[in-house]
Amino acid sequence: MNALAVELNASLEGTCVSRLLSNIGSRMYFPKGILSQSAEATERAKRFNATIGMAVANGEPMALDAVLAQLPSLTRSEAVAYAPTAGVPANRESWRKELLKKNPSLEGKSFSTPVVVPGLTAGISYLADMFINEGDPVIVADMFWPNYRLIMEERKAATLATYRFFTPEGGFDVAGLEKATSQAAKARGKAVVILNYPNNPTGYTPTLVEADGIVAAMVRIADAGADLLVISDDAYFGLQYEKGTLRESMFARLAAAHPRILAAKVDGQTKEDYVWGFRGGFVTFACPAINAAGYDALVKKLMGVIRSSISNSAAPTQNILAKAMADPGYAKQKAEFGAILERRYHKVKAFLASHPAPGGFRELPFNSGYFMCFECEGFSAEALRLKLLDERGIGVISIQDKWIRVAFSSVDEDKLDALYSEIFAVAEGYTRS
């Protein structure tokens, strides 16, 4: 094992983080190579800096005017220079401040400075590299984002251990989550849990009472001697539409919950700031068992994963978003878009309240995010999807051939009644047969 990895591991020794690391995670480090030497040269090479692999003229990166014309608010360096492996500092620090604004209960708790990753998918995949070995169980609800399977089962050869998302009464199944996590923990002494709220595909966020129950369940399992990595996939953070639902991230509630719980937050500007193609994500860690040196070690290991895969995230989008967060109109503009989505949500709710769904086509609870789902009882969700597409020109998503996901986020408010009327009309043909 590389001496730098050994040094980082020593900073984590005796903590749950050390016990949770995968084989790759244990071996990972950030090399003192070209990037670190270039960073030293940037500070100390007063005459000539011949370290970094960029073409420079008159002290600035060379950049085509045809490129700069598309990025008028950025300097040459902001537009075309490499970003640091962990991300543009202004972007990282601004996002940390945003985390505290959006999650007031984080105040006074220790957590790492967010590390930039190229989208939330990459963030989850990098955490899998750091913490998941072949055969490890990863606990997710039965209604999960399909990319978890590709990342965990196909890339990492782990297994998805599922529990039902909803109880028969229509609430979040806290007991099911606890049972699945406890079983995995008893078998291996540790467990990895992914919590995704607002959930994709259901569009459901737990109530405050359910969120308290989730924390209590994780603490009970940790009290029994298991180490837990709890990943909060916060892709749709901030889009809650009903009172009594969780408004903060589960990360904030778990950040200091137990010394055997490592909380990891995967979030970003992709959806929160309506810049899907920018691929702007962050990974942040919190655990009461580790100190500043421990956080530094975790960040350096994550930087090693980034360096060994994509090297660094794109600089222009980071600089654009850092400037956007400093804009006086930033919060107001986000709130205006959020209000549009909330009106669409209420429009869908009003339609469903006044138009009972066909028998066997059951609406599932939803209160947030971009989506809602119907359960198809006794017929194929995929067949319904294809019929809607081929005969009505309507696109929806079928999941596990059981559920139909409808993204009301992508349909204008005045067209929602027509969309759902068409869906119901086609579904009724299946439920009658």
Q: Poorest-confidence range of 10-19, 46-55, 312-321?
A: 46-55
CATH assignment of 331-432?
Answer: 3.90.1150.10
The 3-state DSSP composition of the chain as helix, strand, coil percent (nearest 5) reads 50, 15, 35
pLDDT at residue 36 tops 70: no
Mean pLDDT over 90-115 rounds to: 96
CA terminus-to-terminus distance, the chain: 63
CA-wise closest residue to 175 among 185, 166, 187: 166
Across the range 168-186, mean pLDDT stands at 96
Q: What average pLDDT score do residues 112-127 get?
A: 97
> Which residues partner with 161 through β-bridges?
139
Name the pLDDT band for 40 (thresholds 50, 70, 90).
Answer: confident
For residue 236, pLDDT beyond 80:
yes
Q: How many other β-carbons are positioned within 10 Å of the β-carbon of residue 20? A: 23
pLDDT of 386: 96
**Nearest-CA neighbor of 96 among 274, 322, 333?**
322
Residue 433 has pLDDT above 60, yes or no: no
Per-residue pLDDT for 33 more than 90?
A: no
Distance CA(378)–CA(357), nearest Å, equals: 15
Mean pLDDT lowest for which of 209-218, 247-256, 290-299, 354-363?
Answer: 354-363
Q: Tell me the mean pLDDT in the region 183-208.
A: 96
Q: Which residues belong to CATH 3.90.1150.10 in the chain?
A: 331-432
C-alpha 11/C-alpha 290 separation (Å) is: 9
> CATH 3.40.640.10 spans which residues of the chain?
3-30+85-326
Is residue 234 helix, strand or coil?
Answer: coil
User: Cβ atoms within 10 A of the Cβ of 292, count?
Assistant: 10
Cβ(227)–Cβ(19) below 8 Å: yes
Asked if pLDDT for residue 56 goes beyond 90, the answer is: no
Work out the widest C-alpha separation in the chain, in whole angstroms: 81
pLDDT digits (tens, 9 = 90+) for 391-402: 999 999 999 999
CA–CA distance from 40 to each of 33, 43, 86, 133, 180 (Å)? 11, 5, 16, 35, 48
Give residue 60's pLDDT: 86
Cα distances from 261 to residues 139, 162, 191, 255, 354, in angstroms, run: 15, 20, 10, 8, 45
Q: What is the mean pLDDT of residues 40-58?
A: 77
Confidence class for position 269, pLDDT limits 50, 70, 90: very high
pLDDT digits (tens, 9 = 90+) for 404-421: 999 999 999 999 999 999
pLDDT of residue 53: 82
Q: Is the pLDDT of residue 320 over 60?
A: yes
Indicate if the pLDDT at residue 41 is higher than 90.
no
Res. 432 pLDDT band, cuts 50 70 90 = low
Give residue 42's pLDDT band: very low, low, confident or very high (50, 70, 90).
Answer: confident
Residue 304 pLDDT class (50, 70, 90 cuts): very high
- Record the tokens describing residue 353, joined without a space: 């309240």
What percentage of the chain reaches a pLDDT higher than 70? 98
Looking at residue 37, what is its pLDDT? 74
Q: What is the pLDDT of residue 35?
A: 66
Report, as an integer, the average pLDDT of 72-86.
93
In the chain, pLDDT over 90 holds for what percent of residues? 88
Cα–Cα–Cα angle for 216, 191, 257, rounded to 5 degrees: 35
- Euclidean distance between CA atoms 9 and 34, whole angstroms: 23
Residue 278 contacts residue 321 (beta carbons within 8 Å): yes
| Mean pLDDT (whole number) for 237-253 | 96
Q: Is the pLDDT of residue 50 over 90?
A: no
Model's pTM, two decimal places? 0.94
CATH match of 3-30+85-326 with 3.40.640.10: yes
Distance of CA 15 to the CA centre of its chain: 25
Q: For all residues of the chain together, what is the average pLDDT?
A: 94
What is the mean pLDDT of the segment spanning 290-310?
96
